[in-house]
Amino acid sequence: MRTSFGERMLDLVVSGFLWGIRVAIVLAIIIGTIVTLSKGVYTSEQWIGFIVFGIAQGAIYALIALGYTMVYGILRMINFAHGDIFMTGAFGAYFVATWLNTIGFVDKNPALGLIIPILFAMILAAAIAMLVERIAYRPLRNAPRLVPLISAIGASFFLEYAFRGFFGPGKYAYPPLKALDGGWTIMNVEIQKVQVLVVAAAAIMMAILYFVVMYTKVGKAMRAVSENQDTAALMGIDVNRIIVSTFALGAAMAGAAGVLFSLVYRQIDFFMGFTPGIKAFTAAVLGGIGNIPGAMVGGLVLGVFESIGPSLFLEGLGIPRPYQLKDVIAYTMLVMILLFRPSGILGERLSKKKA
Amino acid sequence: MNKRLFALLSLLVIASMALTACGGATTAAPAATEPAAATEVAPATEAAGAAYECTDALGCVKIAADEPLHMAFWGVLSGADSSLGEDSKRGVEIAIDDKGGKLLGHNILLTTEDALCTPEGGATAASKLATDTSIVALVGSTCSDETVGGIAAITQAGLTTISPSNTRPALTDPNRGPDYAGYLRTAHSDAFQGKAVAEFAYNFLGVRKAATIHDGSAYAQALQQVFADNFKELGGEIVAQEAVAKDATDMKPVLTTIAAKQPEFIYYPVFVAVGGYITAQVRDVPGLEDVKLAGSDGIFSPDFLKASGPNVEGVYLSSPDFSAFTGDYAGFLKKHEAKYGGSTLSTFHAHAYDAANIIFAAIEKVAVVEADGTIYIPRQALRDAIYATKDFPGITGNLSCSPSGDCGAPVIAVYQVMSADPASWNPSDPTNPNPKKVWP
């Protein structure tokens, strides 16, 4: 260690600056929160409402984030086309759901009318993700890390503009399910049925995924490949097959998220995957990329903060029109997590070798 | 590139510009901004033999006997808001058809350029069109942001454009600056629209507490502010002025914030995507179950019904008053139906039709026709003739252009959505209109 006095001073200044940022942001949040709460603009029911909206949004982020994190865990690669896989799922479900609606099937079997489009979206998204993997990623498996990243961005544009070419730039409206109209009132808080459905469906899906990864042969193989590809291959694991199934599983989650998203927000267009994709990537990093429970936690945390943040601390700081700054909260959180815990909320178990 | 080659190339470029600009005559390079008086407004046929000499301050467009008369349309033709531009483009095309595709014996050629509804897109489209010296005049742009980005290039090239759908008040402000010398519009200014909505809300609906939401765009921000100012002047109270990001999807948090202020009326003059999310989610927020909702011409489109779903029934939308159109609007709709099928896509097709016809009339007034069929169109004279438009019988009313470029007849009406079915969209249906005019 031959550090000169100047270098040490520089280190000191830099770390002092970073600490300054941390302290400033934390202080801003605390002050804003105190001011807002002391003003008492919102009732406690409204606060619970914010949290409920946030959980529903966060569950969708979490489902998409799983795909990012699984692919990263195995290939150390950010699959930027993942947001568009989400979009393909929504489109697929839209066509099936519209068809089922016109033949009157949904009115007779509301449950199947919900499940069939979800299953179709999962299968379609998985198929497209497998194609993307085969065409855009596998030939570049041994190339330097940046190359598949660029290829992923290309795949993302390709999917977006292919769908625009097929279905036009206009908007489609996902047919609403009559069975999901209305809501329940629990402790004075009205909760929409559709929000309950989103959270429940996301929880079930994540439980299934967790089971697959932890307790099945494929899952065991996935974990082995993620530890070390070469050793896994020596143990008789077909690495290619495992990578493809990882893509398929992640994409199926994204496809399902696409349907849940369309059920809540109705609008479907070729560009709908972009923003949720970026947010889900943020969620994955937030939770610790490569870590499956981390993606779930990251998604929920991000959703809740985005929903509650503008009114909780931005308003208290006297910032006008705080909802325009929703994205600022999301990305500031990302910066904070990277400063405080570079490996993410649940990122501890990620060994240095992998990161 | 070495210096001599560069010099040679620039010489060639300059030479070709001089050749194309005015038949190799004496024209100086277009000097843009200063609105020098037009010196040559001599119409009708010149004596055969004597070649026309262009003395116009901005130069002339020469169209040889066998060449088409070149017009351009610039506006948003792709993306989520493309129905707005496509709708106006159709208005121009129908105006050309009505002329039989010919003006002064020349076929009319229409070039279109996509301006993407952004300032950057407008700048790109405008500079591309400005380099084409064969273009006589333009119709466009569609979004106010496009004009903000592109108008300098168009004015400096000596061109004149008439926008069918820009509504931002500042664009025709008397102090708008020399860059806007080539800019006029047949659309109404939002100074009228925001005021009309405020009067409608205060006097007709009788609400006293209103909230607004905008999406950060030049159009929405200005319009909700005009509304808020007028509403306060009438004696109402603005309880919240919120804003969301253009790509936001979850509106419930911002609506909950607004609900805490207990408005009776929410005004969100935004575009289709954000408008759809707000309309679809607003009834789920406790406290907003019965609040009255209103938007403006940016969401006056069947796409908005598609994006909003069943909640859209009862929403008020302000728009130019179709029933106040003095011209043959029914005839226009018939031609539209015959040419494109289905009903119109958005609000401003009639304004585009009028814009094109004002340009045609001005061209006929100033063009210099030679015996062999060659015509010269002096640019400054054309611009002056457009500004001089007075009592022009258009579809949207009798149009007269002000010195600051306002040609529109600003009659605003408020419509109410009667059915959530996008297929039923037809505001001018005589028996069963959707949306239906409710005010004034």
The highest-confidence range among A226-235, A281-290, B66-75, B430-439, by mean pLDDT, is B66-75
- pLDDT for B414 equals 92
Express as a percent the part of chain B with pLDDT over 90.
48
The highest-confidence range among A322-326, B68-72, B432-436, by mean pLDDT, is B68-72
User: Which domains, ranges and CATH numbers included, belong to chain B?
Assistant: 63-187+348-409 (3.40.50.2300), 191-324+413-439 (3.40.50.2300)
Residues B60 and B41: their CA atoms lie apart, in Å, by 12
Asked if A7 reaches chain B (Cβ–Cβ under 8 Å), the answer is no
What's the whole-number average pLDDT of chain B? 85
Task: Report phi then psi at A64, rounded to 5.
Answer: -70, -40
Q: Which residue of A has its CA nearest to B275?
A: A267
Give the distance between the most distant pair of CA atoms in chain A. 79
Q: Which residue of A has its CA nearest to B272?
A: A171
- pLDDT for B34 equals 43
Task: Report phi then psi at B184, rounded to 5.
Answer: -135, 170
- pLDDT for B13 equals 57
- A interface mutation test: which of B87, B114, B214, B256 has the most A CBs within 10 A? B256
Long-range contacts of the stretch A184-192 (C-beta < 8 A, 24+): A187/A48, A188/A45, A189/A45, A189/A48, A189/A49, A189/A52, A190/A49, A190/B284, A190/B286, A191/A52, A192/B284
* Contact flag B286-A190 (C-beta cutoff 8 Å): yes
Task: Assess contact for A323 and A264: CB atoms under 8 A.
Answer: no
pLDDT (tens digit per residue) in B142-171: 988 899 999 999 999 999 999 999 988 889
H/E segment holding residue B396: none
- pLDDT for A349 equals 54
Pairs across A and B, CB distance < 8 A? 102
Instruction: Answer yes or no: is pLDDT of B2 > 80.
Output: no
- pLDDT for B9 equals 58
- B285: chain A residues, CB-CB within 8 Å: 49
Q: Which residue of A has its CA nearest to B306?
A: A173
How does residue B6 score in pLDDT terms, banded at 50, 70 and 90? low
What ipTM does this complex have?
0.81
How does residue B213 score in pLDDT terms, banded at 50, 70 and 90? very high
| Local structure of residue A4 (DSSP, 8 states) | -
How does residue B16 score in pLDDT terms, banded at 50, 70 and 90? low
Return per-residue pLDDT of chain A as tens, 355 residues.
556 788 888 888 988 888 888 888 888 888 888 888 888 778 888 888 889 889 999 999 999 999 898 888 888 888 999 999 999 999 999 999 999 988 888 888 888 888 999 999 999 999 999 999 999 999 998 888 889 989 999 999 999 989 888 887 778 888 888 877 777 877 777 788 888 888 998 899 889 988 998 899 999 999 899 888 889 999 999 999 999 999 999 999 999 999 999 988 888 988 889 889 999 999 999 888 888 888 889 999 999 988 888 888 888 788 888 888 888 888 888 888 888 888 888 775 544 444 4
How does residue B359 score in pLDDT terms, banded at 50, 70 and 90? very high
Residues B198 and B227: their CA atoms lie apart, in Å, by 5
Nearest to A323 among B242, B247, B249 (CB): B242
- A57: chain B residues, CB-CB within 8 Å: 250
Tokens of B440: 């004034």
Instruction: Answer yes or no: is pLDDT of B33 > 50.
Output: no
- pLDDT for B8 equals 56
Task: Report phi then psi at A267, rounded to 5.
Answer: -80, 135
- pLDDT for A354 equals 47
Count CA within 13 A, CB hemisphere, residue A61.
35
Between B318 and B20, where is the model more confident?
B318
- pLDDT for A348 equals 57
